[in-house]
Each structure stands twice: as C-alpha cells, then as structure tokens.
Chain A
Amino acid sequence: MREKVKLKTTNSKNAKTGNNNDVGIISQKLPFKRRFHGYIMKGFIFFCVAFAVSLILFLIGYIFYRGLPHVTFSMLTSTPSLLRGTVGILPNLLYTVYIIFTTLIISLPIGIGAAVYLNEYATNRRLVRIIEFTIETLAGIPSIIYGLVGFLIFVRMMGGATILSGSMTLSILVLPTVVRTTQEALKTVPISYREGSVALGATKWYSIRTIILPSSLDGIVSGVILAIGRMVAESAALLFTAGAGHALITNYFAALQTGGRPLTVALYFYATEPGQWGDVSSTDVAFAIAAVLIIIVLVLNFLTKLLKRKLKKI
C-alpha cells in the first residue's frame, strides 16, 4: 500500500516540476490545469452534497405537504369502514405498537444474552468468530427472505398469519442489531469495573447483573431505539407473516392471535389499491401514513441524538 501511495505522489511531483522556473517567487501560482482540476472536483463534491441534502429535504417536505393535511383527529382515531364512509389508521398504528412490543419481548433477552455471552463468557475464540460471522450474515439477509422463512415456519406454527407470527419473524430480523449494539455498549465498560467486582468477591452473574449491565444501559437503550426504528420501517418481512386484518383490537392478547396490517404494510396496500372513503382517497391515506412514519423516524432519531449526547458527557 505504501508503495502505491509513493507512486501516486510522484505523479503530483512531476506535475510540480512544471513551475520550477518560478523558483524564488514565494507566492507562486499553480498552473491552470491543476487549479482547474481542483475547482472541478470541489464543484463536483459540493454538487453531490447539495444533491443529497436537498433530496432529503424534498422527500420530507413533499410527504408532509401531501400527508399532514390528512393526519387529522378522525384519521388517527377511526377504522376504515365503507359503510360509515370513514377511514382511519388507528388499527394499523396499534398493530405496529403491538408488533414492536412483542418483538422486543422476544428479541431483547436473546440479543442481550448473546452479546453478554460473546463479551463476558465465551472463551473459545473460534466459536466467537463463528457467531460473529453468523450475525453479520443475518444482518445482510434481505427482509423478504425473512418474510418467506417466517411464512414457512411461524405462520404454519400459528395456523395463520397473526401479530405473533409477524413479531417472531421480526425478532430474528432485529437480532443482529440488538446483539451488535449491546456488544458495543458492553465493550465501553472499563475492565477495572469487572476486576473490582471480582475482587470484592462477587460472582460472575452477580457482577454482570449489578455492575456491567447497569453501566452499559445507555448504550443498550440506544440499540433498542435503533431496533425499534427497523421494526417501524419494516414491511417486506411482515407482508405475509402479520396477516391482513384492520379491525380495532384494544386487547393486546387478543390481538396477538389475530392478523393485522402494521402501518408500513397498510401504506403499501393503500398506495397500490384504489379506494375512496367520503372525500378521502386511498392515496391521501397513504400520504397520511407516510407522514406519520416520517414523524416516528424523526422522533427516534432525536432520541438517539439525546442519548449519544448523554453518553458523551459521562
């Protein structure tokens, strides 16, 4: 690598020999070709950055412009019904919340447990490497494959697509996120904490429970927020595993047994299947859902920022 770098720098040296005749002048000007190259490249870089930033501004602005007018009280609190001519996203909102809650219940113990095993217990380096490779691979698998496998295993197990089978599918999908962030958090706990705890006669589990986990809590929480972000945004994995109902079910345990479309999946169907409820079209509903999703993403991002700031202070 170093040779390569040397080689490249000699190129620019060659270019420099061109203005050797200016020796003696302190503020020598670069030849036009090199200045031009600099301007062009700088311009290109700034153009790309401006493009990326204005793209996100346009996306969010457009979604809010089209969506926010439809995010009304009735939209947020009613259910879709052709008979009454009402349309609302409350059931979908609830399904998303149920799925997040259930997925966290399943994936947090396993994910945090796996990270604790990797960081605190594992002595076999080969096994650690295998597990870490597995986690990387799991993170790379497309969500549609998770959806398909969830459809093959969990939906059959439950005898139909339900919130529970959808949550089980999502639990595997977010497992890599939870394990990785927890591992990062555990790594920030100073080794002296562990030594101090052991020196005071604490057993391993006791020091994990009272010292290590509490002092990495902030990092773990930011990992949980990241995982929630993935769950809110996920659609392909839930398309076939979470069912297709839109009845309003306020009882959590009853909801686990029934199928329902979370926000993202509902957005897909509102966007692709035309419909009309009173003076609200399905496209309007889709924009309203998109606006709600963006708001959730913004809030989650803000929370992560707050936590990061808090972490830096300590």
Chain B
Amino acid sequence: MKIKNIIEQVMKSFFFICGMMTIIAMLTIAIYLIINGVPAIREVGLFNFLFGQIWAPVHSTEPQFGILPFILTSIYGTFGAVLIGVPIGLMTAIFLSKLSNPKISVVVNTAVELLAGIPSVVYGFIGLSVLVPLVRETFGLLSGATLFSAIIVLSIMILPNIINVSRVALAAVPTKYEEASYALGATKMETIFKVSMPAARSGIAAGVVLGIGRAIGEAMAVMMVAGNVANMPELFRGVRFLTTAIASELSYAAAGIHRNALFSIALVLFVFIIIINIVLNLLLKRGVK
C-alpha cells in the first residue's frame, strides 16, 4: 500500500513538472532573448537601432545598426500578403461553410490541408525557380527577387490559416440569424455578406491575425525570394525582412556587437509576436462571448 502511495506521489509530481516545463520553456526563450538582445540596443541606442535607416554591420570604420528597413519590410510584406490572401481565403471559407456540398468539400479541404502541410522551404524553392524569373521578365527587372515576389509567396502561405479559422467562425453563426434574413426576403448572397460575415467578424479577424503572425514570422521561404538586400522597402526591389536578417547573417556574424545586434532583431520580432498573440487572444475571447 505504501509503495503504491509513493508511486502516486511520484507520478503526480512528474505530471506537474511536465506542465511547468511549458512555462519554463517560454520564460527561457524570453530571458535569453532579453539578455542577449539588450546589450546591442544599449550600445547603439534604442532610437538609432529602431529608426536607423542603414544597416552596415561589417563596415570597417563606422559600422551602423539601423533596422528600420527590416521592420518596414516586415510590415509592408505582411500587409501585402494579407491584402491578397484574405479575400481569397475568406471566399474559400465562405464556400466551404455555406455553399459547398460534401463531395466538393472533401476536395477543397484536402487541397487546403496540403497547402498547410507543404514545407516553407519548398514554397521558397518554387518561388525561386518559377515566380522570381516570371516577375523578372514580366516587369523587366534585373532581378525578380523582390518584395513583390515575397508578398505573393507569403499570401499563399497564409491561406490555410485564414481559411480554417474563418470557416469555423462562419459555421458557428447561429442558423436563426440566416433564417431570419431569408424570411425577410434576402437572397443567399445578401445573407452571407450582410448577416453571416458580420456575425462571424471576430472569428474572421482572428484568422487574419493568425495569418499576420505566420507571415511576419516566416523566414526560409522569404529568404529565397526577397533578394535579401538591406534596402528600404520598395515593391520591385530586393529587400530583407526581420526574420531573414537573423537567418542570413547568423552563420558568419562575429561574436560581439554584430551577433548581439541579430539577437536584438530577434527581440524586436518577439515583441511583435507577443503583441499579435495578445490581440489574437482578445479576438478569440470576444468570439466565444
């Protein structure tokens, strides 16, 4: 009996420790990013770091660490991806939740699942071998690796997130809302766009925010199609995102301020993600109400 009690206690503590591990992991990530990220920001100065327009970390006499180009590129890129991805994703979600029949749903669902399952590096590779040459020839550029190409790739990558979350939100709209709308003489399309969509708006917004989170955090695909040059963002110019700034220089950045500055960029990205997550949580909670 006694051994049994001991085992019970041991297992109880084991499960407790497992539960705590998630908090420990989260805190470790946050603490490591802050410890390693703050020194460079201190050295450069917060304002110069966030709003400096020139990134020249290996300049021999006067290295400069301004990450405004990366921040703006990340914001523009994400915004562009949302602009293209949200209408397509939302319409697909409407189709799946309101218009489709089971047989077609299976096909579209499978397509969406596959879209979500394709590795980001494969998206980047197809972008590199199909989209980049296409953009170069269509717009007569020297190089097709531009912000525009990155936006196209990102907008495809966020489709599954938007579709899945908005579909659930649309399916959760009480049918009596729609029945009431039909009873008043509204057509199917009018009902969908004037009743169902407004009623599901916080869920749809959650899907969009989730897409934003994915777009702003994507590294590999973007690294292959965006040209990876630390320019201020322009649609048809090579650019560098926050994520790719880290990924492209970490392998050769010498220990010291250069490497520390990369950790500072990660810290900025982390802050962005935390804000996005808090917004997402608020939206989802509102949706539940």
Give chain A's interface residues, CB within 8 Å of chain B.
Answer: 1, 4-5, 8-9, 11-13, 15-16, 30, 34, 37-38, 41-42, 44-49, 51-53, 55-57, 59-60, 62-63, 109-114, 116-118, 120-122, 127, 130-131, 133-138, 140-149, 151-153, 172, 175-176, 179, 203-205, 208, 229, 232-236, 239-240, 264-265, 267-268, 271-272, 283, 286-287, 290, 293-294, 297-298, 300-301
User: Do B115 and A55 have beta carbons less than 8 Å apart?
Assistant: yes
User: Do A134 and B198 have beta carbons less than 8 Å apart?
Assistant: no
Contact A143 B217, CB 8 Å, known A8-B198, A45-B99, A113-B14? yes
| Residue in chain B with minimal CB distance to A52 | B92
| Residue in chain A with minimal CB distance to B114 | A56
In angstroms, Cα B187 to Cα A300, docked, is 41
User: Do B23 and A1 have beta carbons less than 8 Å apart?
Assistant: no
| Residue in chain A with minimal CB distance to B274 | A137
Flag B60-103 by CB within 8 Å of A: 1 or 0 each.
00000000000000000000000000011101101100010000
Contacts of A8 in B (CB 8 A): 194-195, 198
11 additional contacts (CB under 8 A) given A8-B198, A112-B18, A144-B266: A48-B92, A49-B95, A52-B88, A114-B18, A137-B274, A138-B22, A140-B277, A145-B266, A268-B125, A271-B121, A301-B110
Flag B256-282 by CB within 8 Å of A: 1 or 0 each.
000000110010011001101100110
In angstroms, Cα B111 to Cα A133, docked, is 31
Flag B118-130 by CB within 8 Å of A: 1 or 0 each.
1111101110111
Number of B residues with CB within 8 Å of any CB on chain A: 91
Stretch of B45-53, B135-143, B243-251 at the chain-chain interface: B243-251
Asked if B38 lies at the interface with its beta carbon under 8 angstroms from chain A, I say no
In angstroms, Cα B125 to Cα A105, docked, is 31
Asked if B232 lies at the interface with its beta carbon under 8 angstroms from chain A, I say no
Contacts of B16 in A (CB 8 A): 117, 121
User: Do A233 and B194 have beta carbons less than 8 Å apart?
Assistant: no
| Least Cβ–Cβ distance between B172 and chain A, in angstroms | 13
A-B contact count (CB 8 A): 269
A-B pairs with lowest CB-CB distance, top 5 = A142-B217, A113-B18, A233-B119, A48-B91, A117-B19
In angstroms, Cα B186 to Cα A298, docked, is 42
User: Do B126 and A59 have beta carbons less than 8 Å apart?
Assistant: yes
Give chain B's interface residues, CB within 8 Å of chain A.
Answer: 4, 7-8, 11-12, 14-19, 21-23, 25-26, 28-29, 32-33, 36, 87-89, 91-92, 94-95, 99, 107-108, 110-115, 117-122, 124-126, 128-130, 156, 159, 163, 177, 180-181, 184-190, 192-195, 198-199, 213, 216-220, 224, 243, 246-247, 250-251, 262-263, 266, 269-270, 273-274, 276-277, 280-281
| Least Cβ–Cβ distance between A216 and chain B, in angstroms | 15
In angstroms, Cα B97 to Cα A223, docked, is 25
In angstroms, Cα B187 to Cα A122, docked, is 50
User: Do B126 and A63 have beta carbons less than 8 Å apart?
Assistant: yes
In angstroms, Cα B91 to Cα A116, docked, is 38
User: Do A38 and B22 have beta carbons less than 8 Å apart?
Assistant: no
User: Do B111 and A136 have beta carbons less than 8 Å apart?
Assistant: no
The listed residue (B117, B125, B195) touching A271 by CB distance below 8 A is B125
| Least Cβ–Cβ distance between B111 and chain A, in angstroms | 4
User: Do A138 and B217 have beta carbons less than 8 Å apart?
Assistant: no
In angstroms, Cα B227 to Cα A146, docked, is 23
Contacts of A300 in B (CB 8 A): 117
Contacts of A267 in B (CB 8 A): 119, 121-122, 125
| Least Cβ–Cβ distance between A139 and chain B, in angstroms | 9
User: Do B95 and A240 have beta carbons less than 8 Å apart?
Assistant: no
Contact A141 B186, CB 8 Å, known A5-B198, A232-B119? no
| Least Cβ–Cβ distance between A284 and chain B, in angstroms | 11
Contacts of A265 in B (CB 8 A): 121
The listed residue (A37, A45, A148, A153) touching B266 by CB distance below 8 A is A148
What are 17 pairs between A and B in contact, CB < 8 Å?
A5-B199, A8-B198, A12-B185, A13-B185, A41-B189, A41-B192, A51-B88, A52-B92, A131-B23, A153-B28, A233-B118, A236-B120, A240-B251, A272-B128, A294-B118, A294-B122, A301-B117
| Least Cβ–Cβ distance between A125 and chain B, in angstroms | 13
In angstroms, Cα B16 to Cα A117, docked, is 6
Contact A293 B122, CB 8 Å, known A114-B22, A145-B266? yes
User: Do B29 and A236 have beta carbons less than 8 Å apart?
Assistant: no
| Residue in chain B with minimal CB distance to A137 | B277
| Least Cβ–Cβ distance between B110 and chain A, in angstroms | 8
Contact A141 B19, CB 8 Å, known A34-B187, A38-B189, A52-B108? no
In angstroms, Cα B224 to Cα A290, docked, is 15
